[in-house]
Amino acid sequence: MVQPRDKSEADSLKPDLSHLGLSHAEPSQPKLQLTDFSSPSLPKTASSDTYLFISDLHLCASRPHITIAFLDFLETTALKAKALYILGDLFEYWAGDDDIDDAFHQQIILAFKTLANTGVQLFLMHGNRDFLISQRFCTAAKITLLNDPTLVVLHGKKALLCHGDDLCTDDTAYQNFRLQVRDKNWQKEFLSQSLETRKKQIVSIRTHSEQEKSQKSAQIMDVNSDAVNALLQAYHYPELLIHGHTHRPNQHQIQLDGHDMTRWVLGDWYEQGSYLSCDQYGCQDIRL
């Protein structure tokens, strides 16, 4: 089993991507949505052979039902897993690691730390809402920060993980915005302001973003298939591509250059929690 920080295989496969635009209870009966491999496999809860993937939780103090569902997920399902991968947008927004003392954030950090101390490996990738999460948060939560994208090997199958926003290349307004806010100098300047000022600016950007989104077509805000194909080619056709961001949970079969691949899109946690569970028999999309 190769873990993402096991550089040997992942690094040898890593290409130059500069050319790319790129109530606390056990969930009663998990509903099986889709299975990607042919092996007969009954719905099952996580085990020490299971890798779990989630994204787009958008946790915040004002959505307590999602926080409760998430803490329950950590204490039950994730507790039995080998590893939990959070592929971006864990938080509604993240204004900087100097906000970790916030009571809500401390609650989440404690839950992660408790889970990590049981031996479950925790990995986090930035989303477009929380790309300012940095090492201080990760150390406190005992989480390993992953690059976007990151290639892992799950039970012998290569899986490429990303948030997904980078693949939405038709959304040029967003991509321009992304270029600016991912710039390290821009971030340094932004972070030099007071926490209060930053939060006000983020609220303002959120309003602006919602206004703009209401004018964009659903297609523009989805992944661009050429960008998906280019990424899969650049990473030598991994069997799985797993991402979130678009809030369109689904399983897409891709045939490209003689390779069969599966693109799993993770669901958000606005109304209901969901996760992708992968073990030696395949992957299952499970709703809480």
* Interface with Mn ion (CB under 5 A): 89, 127-128, 245
d(CA 50, CA 55): 17
Q: 181 vs 256, which CB is nearer to ligand LP5? A: 181
* Residue whose CB is less far from ligand LP5, 107 or 204: 204
- By beta-carbon proximity to ligand LP5, the closer residue of 65 and 216 is 216
CB of 77 to ligand LP5, least distance (A): 25
Best CA proximity match to 129, nearest among 223, 203, 74: 203
State the binding partner of 67 from ligand LP5, Mn ion, none, CB within 5 to 8 A by kind: none
Specify the residue for token string 């004002």: 62
Nearer of residues 50 and 169 to Mn ion, judged by Cβ = 169
Task: Choose the contact partner of 99 out of Mn ion, ligand LP5, none; CB within 5 to 8 A by kind.
Answer: none
Q: Which does 143 bind (CB under 5 to 8 A by kind): ligand LP5, Mn ion, none?
A: none
* Position with the least CB separation from Mn ion: 245
Q: Which does 20 bind (CB under 5 to 8 A by kind): Mn ion, ligand LP5, none?
A: none
Closer by beta carbon to ligand LP5, 179 or else 181: 181
For the chain, what's the residue count?
Answer: 288
The CB-of-248 to Mn ion minimum distance in angstroms stands at 12
Q: Site residues (CB under 6 A) for ligand LP5?
A: 93, 128-129, 132, 165, 168, 171, 173-174, 177, 181, 201-202, 204-206, 208-209, 212-213, 216, 221
Residue 200 binding: pick among ligand LP5, Mn ion, none (C-beta 5-8 Å cut-off by kind): none
- For residue 270, the minimal CB distance to Mn ion (Å) is 12
Our CB check for Mn ion shows the closer of 80 and 247 to be 247
